[in-house]
Amino acid sequence: MVSDVERRALERLAAAEKLNRQLQQALESRVVIEQAKGVLRERLALSIDEAFALLRYAARSSGINLHQLAARVVREETTPSPVTIALARQSRWRAVLMRERVEAHRERLDELRRAVDAQLERLGNGAGELRWPRSEKRTADLDLRRARAARNESLYRNVNEAIEQSSHRLGRSKGRTLEFICECARRDCVRRVRLPLDEYEWVRSVATRFVVIPEHHEPELENVVREMADHWVVDKVGAGAEVARKLDPRGRDLGAKPSHVG
């Protein structure tokens, strides 16, 4: 027969073992989450805090356990779709990623406005409040649209670069076709495009090129350089081209297409 002292000792031992298991599980979960934060930071150029916030939001919005989603980020060769969709859909992530770059472009537009105002004064139109000529205002508005579109498209390009880089890291890229995100200017687009990696590299060889589904082409913002059945390759123009070059994750514009791509 077990005495009260022995029974209490066994209960304390059982409680200690249960607590130890819980702490071990929590530690393992924490390690996986920390690994996932590091992966997202590297792939998407986020800070650690931003990576964790994105991971947590993606888990909540998709109804997936945070630990399970973190394990998928670490284990899978491409960023899991709940994370890429959360990144693509949430305008606040665009703001987080592009804040400094937006400020830089705003400074350029301010310079443009000051130059126009100076031109108006030289033309003798300085009486009272300065007004932009209609053609100048249209140009400035179009430049602003092109710049905003290029910022949005550059975010999708960053996501696609993470997909492509993950494939390279695992040594499974040669001769493969991968599923990328449409790189259009639409803030709510999550359409997919399947591309052979050599064609994807051809698109990326020029900093101003993006791949979009045909119906998402914006004629005022970009020129079409290649038409395929399920996707087009477009080239940004004007202020959009300038922003695309500044936000190029590869930091270069090779300008020439590889000979093995037609």
Q: What is the pLDDT of residues 162-216, one digit of tens each?
A: 877 776 655 555 567 888 889 988 877 778 888 998 899 999 999 999 999 999 9
State if pTM tops 0.75: no
pLDDT in tens, 139-160: 677 888 888 888 888 888 888 8
Contacts of 245 (CB under 8 A, 6+ apart): 207, 208, 253
What residue spans in the chain does CATH classification 1.10.10.10 cover?
4-89
Q: What is the 3-state secondary structure (H, E, C) of 192-229?
A: EEEEEHHHHHHHHCCCCEEEECHHHCCCCCEEEEEECC
Give the right CATH number for 4-89 from 3.30.360.10, 3.20.20.20, 1.10.10.10, 3.30.390.50: 1.10.10.10
